[in-house]
Amino acid sequence: MAFAVGLALASAYPNLPDVSDLTDYRPKLPLRVFSSDGAILGEFGEEHRNLTRLKDIPQHMSNAVLAIEDARFFSHGGIDYIGVMRAAWANLGKLKSQGASTITMQVAKNVYLSNEKTFTRKIYEILLTFKLEHALTKEQILEVYMNQIYLGNRAYGFASASETYFGKPLKSISIAEAAMLAGVPKFPSSANPIANYKRAKKRQLYIIDRMQENGFITEEQAVAARAEDVKVRIGPDTSRVHAEFVAETVRQLIFAQYGEETYTRGLDVYTTIKSAEQQAAYRALRKGIMDYERRQVYRGPEKFIDLPANKDELEEAVDDALAERPDNDEVMAAVVIEANPKKILAMRRNAEQLEITGDGLKPAQSGLSANAAPNIKIRPGAMIRVVKTPKGAWEITQLPEVEGAFVALDPRTGALRALVGGFDFDKNKFNHVTQAWRQPGSSFKPFIYSAGLEKGFSGATVINECAFVF
């Protein structure tokens, strides 16, 4: 029997893949588009990853991973025989089933093998583990693991996961946040902090205990980590620069040159866009379109849903409906719970309630009339759009049907300083700056507006000699 096993191992070893490429680890990296001042404008790729060297990863992040995945990583040769015996004892008995995969074994599986559970694949995994331990240092193996592992929501590696779940760079996370991230690899899709915070929190507390047991943190640090209220980023990143049309234009240009490698070779593209001016252009265009929209006839709610009588079922129904019609930046979606000509009570996600009264009802008075047509009438179950006014009150509104564009050029060099191709890229990807056909009159508007500025007119705005064309 032993001879047969040895013969099988000897015949399989020459068929193992070459692992020397991991000595210069270069994983799939997305295309990233930046402004001239270094702000990220867009990212394109199958795997969202930010390659981070081990020396740049916080020690408590590495320790959290070691505590839960492989506490004896630096002392075993790839196979943790103590862990194997412990897992076998637990699996044979009535204790909770345990695994015995070390970090090196996980690297072998994640980089070179599939997830199929067969005896042959396990043999190859063990052989690859020994080969990796022979070819790479422990630090190199750990670095590959920290960057390669999948952590849900298209995030690969802990640096990307930190941005995804906490909206901050990996170097800035706390022990509590590191412990929560370290718990994600086991169930990356179903138990990440966004999908199931309660489950992620339970696993985080267990990892903090393991960190303390293994001497990675003190008792005081453990107490503080358990008590920390970890804030998870839910919804879109409100701090990002809105330059979706710019990023898409860059993607098309790069794809024309590099093809499918565009999404994997980690290209960083720097544009002439100024992030502050781009954000000002984005806000100015949206404000102009929404101001125009307030003067239009109310077209009615976007859809109607049935509202359950049970409170929990009501909240779930509202959450499901809003998931299908997400917020459009400052133009937010809500479901009407109560409605009359003087007040609307609406609900947003997580049972957040808001009240619309007074001037906030004016844009939709026709929908509150007793004689309103069924498709226009605002009633319980109606899905509406709301915005926050400068005074902090809520106002009913609607998504615009009109479109617009905004472009700013440096007249001395022709460099683009800002470009907004439409009201919302996700709603309509047609770029009204680069793809729309101009009417003849549009070609000389910049000269008229520029002349107007010299005479004190306010029809256009110039920022650092950039003519903003409407």
Considering only CA atoms, which of 233, 228, 225 is closest in space to residue 67? 225
Q: What is d(CA 447, CA 61) in angstroms, rounded to the nearest whole number?
A: 57
Output the CA–CA distances (angstroms, integers) from residue 116 to 109, 120, 124, in the order listed.
10, 10, 12
Q: What is d(CA 340, CA 337) in angstroms, rounded to the nearest whole number?
A: 11
Output the CA–CA distances (angstroms, integers) from residue 293 to 342, 364, 403, in the order listed.
22, 11, 11
**Which candidate in 69, 143, 244, 293 is catalytic?**
69
Instruction: Give the single-character DSSP code of 441.
Output: G
Considering only CA atoms, which of 138, 129, 158 is closest in space to residue 65? 158
Q: Which segments within 45-143 are labelled E, that is strand?
A: 48-49
CB 408 within 8 A of CB 468: yes
Task: Calculate helix-pair angle for 219-227, 197-213, nearest 10 degrees.
Answer: 170
Q: In a 3-state reduction of DSSP, which class is residue 75?
A: coil
114 is catalytic: no
Type of residue numbered 312: D
**Residue 25 structure tokens:** 């680890």
**Which candidate in 75, 189, 442, 443 is catalytic?**
442
Considering only CA atoms, which of 240, 297, 309, 244 is closest in space to residue 271? 244
Which residues make beta-bridge pairs with 155?
Answer: 48
Q: Which segments within 282-342 are labelled E, that is strand?
A: 303-304, 332-340
219 is catalytic: no
Active site (catalytic) residues = 69, 442
